[in-house]
Amino acid sequence: MSIQNKTDVGLIGLAVMGENLALNMASKGWKVSVYNRTVPGVEEGVVERFINGRAKGLNIEGFTDIADFVNSIALPRKIMMMVRAGSAVDELMEQLFPLLSPGDILIDGGNSNFEDTNRRVTLAESKGFLFVGSGVSGGEEGALNGASIMPGGSVAAWPEVKPILQSIAAKAPDGTPCCEWIGPAGSGHFVKMIHNGIEYGDMQLIAEAYWVMKNLLDLTNEDMADVFSRWNEGKLRSYLIEITANILRHKDKAGGYLLDKILDAAGQKGTGKWSVINAMELGMPLGLIATAVFERSLSAQKDLREAASRQFQCKHSLAVYNKPEMIKDIFAALYASKLVSYAQGFHIDEETTDETLLQEAITLAKGSDVAVIFAGLPDSFESEGFDRTHLNMPANQNELIARISEVQPNVVVVLHSGSPIAMPWLDKVAGVLQMYLAGQASGGAAVNLLFGDATPCGKLAETFPLHLEDNPSYLNFPGNREKVCYQEGVFIGYRYYDKKKMDVLFPFGYGLSYTDFTYSNMKVTVNGKNAADVDVIKETDEIVVSADITNTGNCDGAEIVQLYIKNPVVYEIRPEKELRDFAKVFLKAGETKTVTFTLNARAFSYYETRIHDWYAESGDYEILLASSSRDIRLQDTVSITGSKKIPFVADYVTTCEDVELFAKDGSALDEMLRGSGFAEATDHDGDDSMGSGTADMMKAMFTGTPLHSILSFSSEELTYEDIQDTIRKLNEAEKNNNY
């Protein structure tokens, strides 16, 4: 057949994709020749039906003779083959070779294996022709209205095919066509292979979400369609989510849901399998896609699955009452699964580094935007059955974090442990999420926090020291034989570290957020009056502390405001400050709320064994509002007059300072000291003739000297009986003053 007006492009294979591509080309102004084989009893009248049907009146010419088809196309010929991948492509090429002219271009638009395309490019070029292997993505709708096209192969062909392929491609919002030259040989089909592999994984995830909603939540098809439609309006928006909603709603001619009548046995075209094979050859972890491929293989064995189901019956005994929350969890799991690739990295039951696992993790981290490392303490490091002897994580976990940090600047470490750990890699990572031992819901919680669906607001309930040796109990634990002495007393936790002003890894009460908070406008009132206007304040008075907390960041969040009381400088050994109250306040971005604390007598007291009751010493107490024990934001001072007194009882070990500080009448001691020689030794009236600092030294000695030791510094006139008599007089004076 002689054609005077040659067409611009030819297309072979009029299945759904081929027909739609031909229509797309014609709609863009290209003259198109189409051909489809004729197989008696199998494929008959394909071309005629298309030309007289969907292509009627368009710039499309149909052919049933392949030689006439080739002859109808202008030189250099551009022929797109839309036939089944595999031997069919090779057979068609052998038919075409004798009919082609030098420089003609063959385009394989099917899902061919990229290694086959490598071979076909070489073969075609050896015969003087050019070959393009092009992935086409978007299904029948994309083929008709604009697809994602991935051409590669003979680079000399690109200038010729570029106008056609880019014209029929989908367009980005700025008009850029979703079609560009990928590279040599089979690179176009390689990209299409991985693209399809990703879709394998995506469809598997969607199928699992569908299964949970259908079988555990007992949702109807319409209910599930509504869920997928909502998801398609947010973060999960995609073609597959969209068509899932449509498929769930689709009904057959009988009025029933078509999905319920489709056999649950899936096949596969090969691209998913090829992706997994190639990943294994390259040493690349491709767990999700591999699992999806294996699940399809399992799906195809329906008889085996039915036999297994009779032996292992699944019974759902627990009803799900909060379905909306469960749907949110399914959404979070699906969203995370789409974004996350996984590599094991280390063996949890040993410390030795497995170099293979480590390298897989490093390779994966290199190609990711963010690396999230889940680490912590295995059972061999932490348990209720034994005490820890160090703060370390297993060495293989520390090495993994350090090595990943070398290739990936955005590393987040998610820790699971029941106690503080050392973090030698802390300055190398972008963030640490301490989950402690959060139970079965920790996975969903971690996802919500990592993806910003929830804002962290937890604060550490313990101090993370830098070293095990820094712990206040280190010198006394585990004790001697059968005896353990808890000699740290009240100085446990932050009370110890703050008193010693010791550097720590993280202080008590520490915790970051995705937003920021400011503290302002602190007020202290006593019985409703401004504290500054009250002359005498007792610990039993109602003391109210308030402050304004403002969320100055861009997202909603919660702050835990901590109130500490800093004790006055007193005789008793006390912590520097103690947590007395805290409040959690939820704030929207830009919002301000007032937090209020009401302090009772216990806030300023400690338990005094001498009176078997709570006791507040008189003095100046600082009230501190803080974000942690080391992050004080606001402070004020109140002077407390204690309402209770501690009875003074003198004995032989009572020091001179005790008498000076606590005795209501210490005249008996003054009387004894006069003429004893001790008084003269400690009173030089500024005369330092005995040597530099002697007077201060003697004063210090006097302060800490027990009454019985005065005999050692006195003249011969002072006797043991004099000491006894002084003690008696001191106690009598105390009794007389109390009653």
- Which residues are tagged catalytic? 192, 199
- Between the CA atoms of 11, 17, 23 and 29, what dihedral angle is there, to the nearest 10 degrees? -60
Strand boundaries in 94-215, DSSP class E = 105-108, 130-137, 148-153, 183-184
- Classified as helix, coil or strand, 622 is strand
Task: List the one residue out of 669, 649, 572 whose CA is nearest residue 615.
Answer: 572
Residue 372, Cα to own-chain centre: how many angstroms? 7
Task: List the one residue out of 398, 437, 439, 442 whose CA is nearest residue 417.
Answer: 437
The alpha carbon dihedral of 711, 716, 718, 720 has a sign of positive
Q: How far apart are CA 486 and CA 698, in angstroms?
A: 35
Task: Please list, in sequence order, all residues whose beta carbon lies within 8 angstroms of the beta carbon of residue 725, skipping any fewer than 6 positions away.
Answer: 672
Question: Which runs of consecutive H residues, i.e. helices, occur in 40-178?
Answer: 46-51, 66-71, 87-96, 114-126, 139-145, 158-168
DSSP assignments along 4-36, one per residue: SS-BSEEEE--SHHHHHHHHHHHHTT--EEEE-
The three-point CA angle 539-543-549 to 5° equals 140
Give CA separation, 336 vs 235, 341, 365, 447, 452, in Å: 11, 9, 16, 7, 12
Q: How far apart are CA 350 and CA 397, in angstroms?
A: 10
Task: Please list, in sequence order, all residues whose beta carbon lies within 8 angstroms of the beta carbon of residue 261, skipping any fewer than 6 positions away.
Answer: 252
Q: How far apart are CA 90 and CA 70, in angstroms?
A: 17
Q: How far apart are CA 195 and CA 272, in angstroms?
A: 9
Q: Token pair for residue 288? A: 């999700």
Give CA separation, 316 vs 209, 220, 326, 350, in Å: 17, 17, 16, 37
Is the CB of residue 550 less than 8 Å from the CB of residue 568? no
Q: Are strands 105-108 and 130-137 parallel, antiparallel or unpaired?
A: parallel
Residue 283, Cα to own-chain centre: how many angstroms? 27
Is the CB of residue 668 less than 8 Å from the CB of residue 733? yes
**722-728: long-range pairs with CB below 8 Å, 24+:** 722/672, 723/652, 723/672, 725/672, 726/650, 726/668, 726/669, 726/671, 726/672, 727/650, 727/651, 727/652, 727/654
Conformational region of residue 572, where left means phi above 0, alpha means psi within -120 to 50, and beta covers everything else = beta
Is residue 581 within a helix (H) or strand (E), and if so which, with residue range? strand 577-587
